[in-house]
């Protein structure tokens, strides 16, 4: 499984509180006009059903079994654009995305 996290995203996640003692949980959930969207939260603990899918210094990313199939190739970036700034989770393996880029289909 390959996940890429840009330096800008790493810096911002550390600013938000990722410190090596907690995790960034990434899930694929149903939603959006293309069928799926990503959810990301900072969590203090990892569930037994989850797996560590990325680690670099204090940044640890976890995912549940159902989401693992959709995370290979995931790219996490951060943009400070005035319009639609924030974290961007994209997967180059997506065969379809919605017009606003929030949802996808694999």
Per-domain residue ranges of the chain: 4-105
Q: Tokens 């995790």 sit at which residue?
A: 23
User: Which of 31-35, 63-67, 87-91 ranks highest by mean pLDDT?
Assistant: 63-67
62: CB partners within 8 A, 6+ apart: 23, 24, 25, 26, 43, 46, 50, 51, 52, 53
The candidate with the shortest Cα–Cα distance to 90, out of 78, 106, 74, 79, is 74
- Residue 81 in this model has a pLDDT that exceeds 70: yes
CATH number of 4-105: 2.60.300.12
For residue 69, the model assigns a pLDDT of 83
CA distance 41 to 104: 19
- Residue 5 in this model has a pLDDT that exceeds 90: yes
Give the whole-number percent of the chain exceeding pLDDT 90. Answer: 54
pLDDT average, residue stretch 31-46: 83
């Amino acid at each position: 499984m390959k996940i890429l996290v840009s330096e800008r995203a790493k810096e911002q996640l550390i600013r938000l509180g990722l410190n090596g003692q907690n995790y960034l949980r990434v899930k694929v959930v149903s939603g959006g006009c293309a069928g799926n969207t990503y959810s990301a939260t900072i969590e203090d603990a990892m569930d037994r059903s989850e797996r560590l899918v990325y680690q670099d210094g204090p940044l640890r990313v976890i995912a549940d079994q159902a989401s693992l199939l959709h995370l290979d190739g995931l790219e996490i970036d951060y943009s400070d654009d005035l319009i639609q700034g924030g974290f961007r989770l994209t997967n180059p393996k997506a065969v379809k995305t919605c017009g606003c880029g929030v949802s996808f289909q694999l």
